[in-house]
Amino acid sequence: AGYYKIRFGIETGSNYVAKQMTLGKKHDLEKLRSILNFGKNIDMRFYATISVGGLGSSPEEDQKTVDLVYELASKGLIHEIQVSINTPQPGTDFYNSCIEQGLLKAQTTNEGFDGNGHVVVEYPNYRAEQIQEKQREVLAAFDLGKAKANTSTFMDTAKESLNSIPDNSSILILRSARPWMIQSIIEAINKYGKISIDLLGQDAVAEELKSNPGIKNTYSYGDGFFSPNTIDSYLIEQLNNTSYDFILLPMANNHLDGYRNVIEVARLIEPKFILGIYPEGNTRTIEQKKMSKF
């Protein structure tokens, strides 16, 4: 049928939370592992969706989700991830249960129900700040697991694929993938060539990565996803004036799905080459600047 990736609602690593969330037979961790292993054997990729802070959650129960994500990522069984804060939508059993138990935070606005950075449900022994921290821990566990699973393979492939980049080239990396991949790219470039690397990313990410000795300059554009509309024209002009030889676009898939805005941002900066680099370490030329004829 041509499928290469499945979006998999794993939700939680806790049997207790799964029971409270009435997941029923959909929650079976041994069956989950079996399916993921079968998928790995036929080169199927999995996009895992995870949640924390669901009904019945506690720091200890959600830690089981952190541990599960690390296990699956480190074994190469999941390839991308989305981690949401479990949010009761009006009219659902979860919402009604929260109302009955008095778990909804007071003065929650509609924007608070996005399931991303906001927490609308607090438990007596599991406060909003703890739930947000657990969300970050799940993402960190994924990155650590992916780094363990992919680093050796990535480095071996990157040694060949990055040979096309001459020494003393100037490179700008757009932070368009998870940190494990960014770190692997930087390590590979520094190991196999004498190349200057700059990085463009969100404020929080740029701050986190600027201490990396492999990066010369970090630039931040604010929050949100890459888009020509979210990056200040002054910053684009500043990057354009640097005259980069290459822009590297780390990509979580090999089909360019979901990366149109990232490519548009790269085009605004006008490098000589735009290269996609994939989780396996291989690269692909997306665009080459046409040189003027004299």
Are both 5-149 and 165-288 of the same fold? no
Extended strands (E) in the chain: 5-11, 45-52, 80-85, 170-174, 196-201, 217-220, 246-250, 273-277, 283-288
- Residue type present at position 207: E
Looking only at the bridges linking them, the beta strands covering 45-52 and 196-201 are unpaired
pLDDT at 294: 43
- Quickly name the fold that domain 5-149 has: Transcription Regulator spoIIAA (3.30.750)
pLDDT at 117: 62
Q: Are 52 and 65 in contact (CB under 8 A)?
A: yes
Q: Which CATH superfamily is domain 165-288 in?
A: Glycogen Phosphorylase B; (3.40.50.2000)
Compute the distance between CA of residue 84 and CA of residue 51 in angstroms, rounded to an integer: 5
Alpha helices, DSSP H only, in 21-127?
A: 29-41, 59-74, 93-101
Q: What is the pLDDT along the chain (294 residues), one digit of tens a residue?
A: 788 899 999 999 999 999 988 888 899 999 999 999 999 999 999 999 999 999 899 999 999 999 999 999 999 999 999 999 988 888 888 888 888 888 886 655 555 555 456 788 889 899 989 999 999 999 999 988 988 888 778 888 888 888 888 989 999 999 998 888 888 899 888 887 778 899 999 988 777 777 788 899 999 998 888 999 989 999 999 999 999 999 999 987 766 778 899 999 999 999 999 999 988 889 999 999 875 544
Compute the distance between CA of residue 292 and CA of residue 31 in angstroms, rounded to an integer: 59
Q: What does DSSP assign to residue 76?
A: T
Compute the distance between CA of residue 208 and CA of residue 106 in angstroms, rounded to an integer: 33
Q: Which phi and psi angles does 190 have, rounded to 5°?
A: -70, -30
Radius of gyration of the chain (CA): 21
pLDDT at 66: 97
Compute the distance between CA of residue 111 and CA of residue 103 in angstroms, rounded to an integer: 18
Domain ranges of the chain: 5-149, 165-288
